[in-house]
Amino acid sequence: MAYPASMTAQTGRGVYRALVLRKKLVLLALAIVLVLSIIADLGLGPARYGMREVVLALVGSPEVSNQVSVVIWDIRMPVALMAVVVGAALSAAGAQMQTILNNPLASPFTLGISAAASFGASLALVFGVGLLPFAIEYVVSINALLMAMAAALFIHLMSQKRGVTVETIVLLGITLVFTFNALLALVQFLASEQALAAVVFWTMGSLTRATWPKLAITTLIVIVALPLFFRRAWALTALRLGEDKAASFGVDVRRVRLETMLIVSVLAAVPVAFVGTIGFVGLVGPHIARMLIGEDQRFFLPASALSGAAMLSLTSVISKSLIPGSIIPIGIITALVGVPFLFSLIMTNRRRAW
């Protein structure tokens, strides 16, 4: 956008207001894309329904048959909504990791948190080892969650050490990815054929594991976490000006970082624990949001959540439509779709994002 060079102070305010309005419109557009994608997602499957049918079933119209209503509400709805909340959670987690670690490469996937979760899950799948003695039904998820949180806290503690730079954190994350991948390979090597298949499928990430209780837990975490970030919106935005600058504004940088990292670790770990490894949403979602809306956290945070949700929901649509009658695990599709999309955004956007 070009603004006249000779701008008076009076219009500075006006331009800012117009900018805020534009950001709100971008958020609205993202929300509309998300809703359309959910409707498409609900319509797709072994039986295909049109948009009109889906909408009628959603509003409980007597025009649609009971069978269609059951398919949409009981079978497809948890999966479709899981895509939305998982996408939102991973993207918001990635956004805040990038913010507090001041690193464009930070995401649950690239810093080894997803790999740690996979390793934790594989322990349960292969050996039946639970890291907590209760909740047998959720043993895979709990193992994944605990390992993911441990990895996130490890990254955080290391990033606090004196002389640790942005590059060091990425290197550290990569060492975690390699370590957990090696451990995962070791577990797979020792696994029985049946357990091996379960592990491989788990690491691919699939939304078909979604159930109403899992959806409820993930939704609850997103609903609790986002307002906690939002409350700190100005402080988190200030971190983008550098640690010294934020501190000189009175931001308690250490505390904001620690609190944010704790919330991020839960936000990143729970989805991975329930649906397996879904890469790139946590990396790409925030970058899309940043390019669309900038880094003012009041808009950047909802934009990250919405773009992550829309991205995963659209990916779910694609994973159902590529090979008719079969659902490709969504973890495979996210990378294949997300990366070219990010690539084209980077190449067409002339403003430097980092």
Residue number, 16 or 212, with CB nearest to other proteins: 16
Task: Give the pair of three-digit tokens for residue 119.
Answer: 């390793």
291 vs 287: CA distance, rounded Å:
6
Task: Give the pair of three-digit tokens for residue 163.
Answer: 């002389």
78 vs 72: CA distance, rounded Å:
9
For the packed helices 77-100 and 9-43, what is the interaxial angle rounded to 10 degrees?
Answer: 140
Q: Torsions phi, psi of 322, nearest 5?
A: -65, -55
Residue 36: exposure state from Cβ atoms within 10 A (0-12, 13-18, ≥19): middle
Binding map of other proteins across residues 179-218, x = CB under 8 A, - = no contact: ----------------------------------------
From the CB of 256, what's the least distance to other proteins, in Å?
A: 11
Binding map of other proteins across residues 76-115, x = CB under 8 A, - = no contact: --------------------------x-------------
Residue number, 212 or 234, with CB nearest to other proteins: 234
Neighbour count for residue 281 (Cβ, 10 Å): 33
Establish if 8 lies at the interface with other proteins (CB under 8 A).
yes
Residue 173: exposure state from Cβ atoms within 10 A (0-12, 13-18, ≥19): buried
The correct pick among 60, 163, 227, 250 for binding other proteins (CB under 8 A) is: 250
321 vs 118: CA distance, rounded Å:
27
Which positions from 272 through 291 interact with other proteins, judged by CB under 8 A?
A: 290-291
Residue number, 1 or 323, with CB nearest to other proteins: 1
The correct pick among 60, 161, 227, 354 for binding other proteins (CB under 8 A) is: 354
From the CB of 353, what's the least distance to other proteins, in Å?
A: 6
Establish if 255 lies at the interface with other proteins (CB under 8 A).
no
64 vs 141: CA distance, rounded Å:
37
From the CB of 291, what's the least distance to other proteins, in Å?
A: 8
From the CB of 168, what's the least distance to other proteins, in Å?
A: 17
Where residue 135 falls (left for φ over 0; alpha for ψ -120 to 50; beta otherwise) is left
116 vs 121: CA distance, rounded Å:
9
Establish if 352 lies at the interface with other proteins (CB under 8 A).
yes
Q: Which stretch binds other proteins (CB under 8 A): 41-49, 199-207, 218-226, 242-250?
A: 242-250
What residues line the site for other proteins (CB under 8 A)?
Answer: 1, 3, 5-10, 12-13, 15-17, 19, 102, 233-235, 237-238, 240-242, 244-245, 247-251, 290-291, 294-296, 351-354
